[in-house]
Amino acid sequence: MMKRKSNVHGRMRESSNNPTSSSSIPIEEEIEWEMRPGGMLVQKRTENAGVSAPDIRLRVAYGAVRYEISVNSQATFGEVKKRLTAETGLQVGEQRVIFKGKERENGEYLDMCGVKDRSKVILMEDPASIERRFIEMRRNAKIQSAHRAINDVSMELDKLADQASAIEKSISNGVKVPEVQITTLIEMLMRQAIKLDDIAAEGDALALKNLQGKRVQKCVETLDTLKISNARVKPVIVTTKWETFDSSPAMAQWEIFD
C-alpha cells in the first residue's frame, strides 16, 4: 500500500490537551492506493458497504466514428479504455482519452473528473502507436513482396529442373545431347540466381530465398557433370541398307487384231 501525506486546513483536529483548538491547524491526511486486477495503480476510495454506483452512458468520438458505451460512474479512465479496446481494436497503451480538453490518466475516476451520464469524451490514437503501425505495415508489405518474388523464381526453377532431368535421362541412355542445350540451360539457371540475389528478404522469406539458391547451385553442378558425361558419349550412327532387286522385265506379248 502506498500513502501520501498532505496538509488540510479548515478542519477540526482533536487534541487531548486542547479540545477546542480549531481552524488553520494543519493535519496529516493519508491517501491510500490500490492495485487493480489489470495491474493499474489507482487511488483507493472509501465506499459505503452495500451501495453500488449507478452505470452511466458515455459518448465517445473517435475520428468520424461515434460509440456509446455503458460504464460504472465510479470507474477509472483506464477501465473505459479497456471497454474501448473491444470496440476499436486499440490496446490500452495506444489510446489517449480527452475529457474537457485534458488528457486523462488511467487512474483517474470518472465521477471525480465530473463525468456524468451522456458525457462526451474524445478518443485519439497515440502518435507513437500510429508510427509503429505504419512501420509494421511497410515491413509486412516488403515481406509479402519478397515471398511473391521468391515464389516466381521457384516456379521457374521447377521447369528448368524438369529439363535438366530430361537431359540426364537421355545421357544415361547413351544418347548424346547437343552441348548448346546444356549451356543454355545453365545460363537460364544463373539468371534465376541473379533474381534471387536482388530480392531483399528477412525472416521466413530469407530462409526460402536461401533454399531456392541451393536448388540453383545443385542444378548447375549437375549440368556441369552431365556436360562431361555427354562429351564421352559416342554418337550413334544410323545407316540405312537398301534392298536391291534384279531387273527382269517381263514383256507382255500383245496380240494385234486387225
The torsion defined by the Cα of 100, 101, 104 and 108, in degrees rounded to 10, comes to: -30
Q: Give tens-digit pLDDT for 200-237.
A: 988 889 999 999 999 999 999 999 999 999 888 776 56
pTM above 0.75, yes or no: no
| 3-class state of residue 241 by DSSP | coil
For 94-152, the pLDDT digits (tens) are 999 999 999 999 999 999 999 999 999 999 999 888 898 899 999 889 999 999 999 99
Give yes or no for a contact between 138 and 145, defined as CB atoms under 8 angstroms apart. Answer: no
Using one digit for the tens of pLDDT, what is the confidence trace for 145-196? Answer: 999 999 999 999 999 999 999 999 999 998 989 999 999 999 999 999 999 9
Cβ-proximal residues to 42 (8 Å cutoff; 6+ apart), any chain = 33, 34, 36, 76, 78, 106, 107, 109
Nearest to 185 by CA among 211, 164, 216, 213: 164
204-222 burial, b at 16+ Cβ within 10 Å, e below that, comes to ebeebbeebbebbeebbeb
Helices (H), the chain: 77-88, 127-172, 179-197, 204-232
